[in-house]
């Protein structure tokens, strides 16, 4: 059975009929003040229907869109307030493992693991500077990495005949 | 104690142990790979390079340089005029006299750079008789010879060879 207030509202609106109306009017006899309010209630309903307080939306879709955006923008703030840190335990462990891998890679790549062996060296002599003693002499440095050799190439020297005793 | 703090402590300990191990390894490598300074020698030679239809084999002292000199200078016969070996002293001046006509004044100090691999920084002065021909600063290491292309001699070329020996 519907509560009295609900039946009263339906009665005021004229929606009660038949047995339901007869039953309600019996109850109404016990509430004479309610019967007296019928006129006031009907006038108020009429007034509210003729003067709606809710403004009519010109673009309801846009309004909904704005509303949804606002809700979405405020959602992370609510999440932050829950107190969860970015550095959860799994993330902390992953970061640690990643750091270890980086450290190991740096260790392997930056620190030589084998002592340099001189006999297998690809080092070749370097001429830092060469100053000819005479302006007519020129000194050029030639590096040959392929032959692992360095040459100081002197030009402008006097020819020596084969008869000259070198020893 | 929260699990997160325990994990952070374990991580910090692991990183510390890794850093300690790396440092320890570097120290060990440095200790084991730094040789005690050896008394090295420098070998010098005066060579006559010529082209011959029937080239004679190079003398034993020049065998290791023969192919390289052939490729670099284009001659096929190499004769040793003279050679001289001196201990490299870091005090004062040394003289390399592979022949009475060509000789070198030498001041040496150990090269500190890693890539020099136990070599020397040499101040060289090449003389022909008493006439200075060229002054130079050279880094030399064992196994890496220096050739000086000298004057034309007859139909060939004079070459001075320098090599650090252990």
Return the pLDDT at B20: 56
Residues 101-130 of chain B whose Cβ lies under 8 A from any Cβ of chain A: 101-102, 115-119, 121, 128
Can you tell me the mean pLDDT for B64-86?
92
Return the pLDDT at A54: 72
CA distance B15 to A97: 10
Q: Which residue has the higher pLDDT, B38 or A139?
A: A139
Return the pLDDT at B28: 45
Which tokens is B18 given?
């890794």
Q: Which residue has the higher pLDDT, B46 or B9?
A: B46
Among partner residues A100, A118, A151, which is closest to B147 by beta-carbon distance? A151
Which tokens is A93 given?
């462990």
Domain positions in chain B are: 1-34, 41-165
pLDDT grade for A119, boundaries at 50, 70 and 90: very low
Q: Please give the model's pTM, rounded to 2 decimal places.
A: 0.53
* pLDDT of B116 higher than 70: no
pLDDT tens by residue, A14-69: 888 888 888 888 888 887 787 778 788 888 888 887 877 777 778 888 889 999 99
Contact B143 A87 (CB under 8 A): no
Residues of B in contact with A92 (CB under 8 A): 4, 7-8, 11
Which has the closest alpha carbon to B160: A73, A119, A153, A138?
A153
Which tokens is A120 given?
């297998």
Return the pLDDT at B44: 93
Q: Which residue has the higher pLDDT, B78 or A23?
A: B78
Q: Which residue has the higher pLDDT, B92 or B129?
A: B129
Q: Choose the weakest-confidence range: B10-14, B34-38, B50-54, B131-135.
A: B34-38
Which tokens is A3 given?
């509560």
Can you tell me the mean pLDDT for A138-161?
89
Among partner residues A123, A131, A161, which is closest to B134 by beta-carbon distance? A131
Q: Which residue has the higher pLDDT, B140 or A78?
A: B140
CA distance B95 to B102: 11
Residues 6+ apart with CB under 8 A from A15: none
Return the pLDDT at B52: 93
Among partner residues A150, A153, A154, which is closest to B133 by beta-carbon distance? A154
- Predicted-complex ipTM score: 0.73
Task: Name the maximum alpha-carbon separation found in chain B.
Answer: 92
Report the chain B residue with the minimal C-alpha distance to residue A137: B133
Tell me what percent of chain A is helix, strand and coil, each rounded to the nearest 5.
Answer: 50, 15, 35
Contact A166 B99 (CB under 8 A): yes
* pLDDT of B92 higher than 70: yes
Return the pLDDT at A87: 80
pLDDT tens by residue, B139-164: 888 888 899 999 999 999 999 999 98
CB atoms within 10 A of CB B74: 10
- For an interface test with B, the pick among A117, A119, A166 (most B C-beta atoms closer than 10 Å) comes out as A166
Return the pLDDT at A151: 92
């Amino acid at each position: 059975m519907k509560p009295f207030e609900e039946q009263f509202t339906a009665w005021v609106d004229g929606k009660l009929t038949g047995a339901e109306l007869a039953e309600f009017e019996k109850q109404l006899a016990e509430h004479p003040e309610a019967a007296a309010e019928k006129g006031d209630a009907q006038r108020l309903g009429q007034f509210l229907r003729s003067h709606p307080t809710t403004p009519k939306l010109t673009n309801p879709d846009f309004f909904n869109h704005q509303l949804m955006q606002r809700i979405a923008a405020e959602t992370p703030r609510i999440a932050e307030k829950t107190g969860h840190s970015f550095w959860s335990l799994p993330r902390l462990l992953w970061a640690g493992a990643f750091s270890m891998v980086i450290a190991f890679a740096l260790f392997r790549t930056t620190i030589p693991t084998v002592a340099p062996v001189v006999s297998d060296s690809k080092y070749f002599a370097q001429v830092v500077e060469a100053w000819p003693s005479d302006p007519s002499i020129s000194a050029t440095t030639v590096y040959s990495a392929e032959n692992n050799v360095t040459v100081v190439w002197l030009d402008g020297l006097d020819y020596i005949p084969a008869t000259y005793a070198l020893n | 104690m929260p699990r997160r703090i325990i994990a952070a402590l374990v991580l910090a300990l692991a990183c510390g142990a890794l850093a300690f191990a790396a440092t320890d390894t570097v120290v060990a490598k440095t200790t084991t790979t730094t040789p005690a300074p050896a008394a090295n020698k420098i070998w010098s030679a005066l060579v006559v390079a010529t082209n011959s239809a029937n080239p004679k084999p190079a003398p034993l002292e020049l065998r290791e340089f023969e192919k390289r000199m052939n490729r670099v200078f284009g001659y096929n016969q190499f004769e040793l005029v003279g050679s001289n070996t001196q201990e490299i002293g870091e005090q004062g001046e040394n003289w390399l006299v592979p022949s009475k006509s060509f000789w070198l004044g030498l001041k040496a100090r150990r090269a500190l750079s890693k890539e020099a691999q136990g070599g020397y920084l040499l101040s060289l002065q090449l003389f022909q008789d008493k006439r200075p021909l060229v002054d130079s600063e050279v880094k030399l290491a064992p196994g890496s010879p220096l050739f000086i292309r000298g004057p034309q001699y007859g139909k060939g070329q004079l070459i001075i060879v320098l090599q650090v020996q252990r």
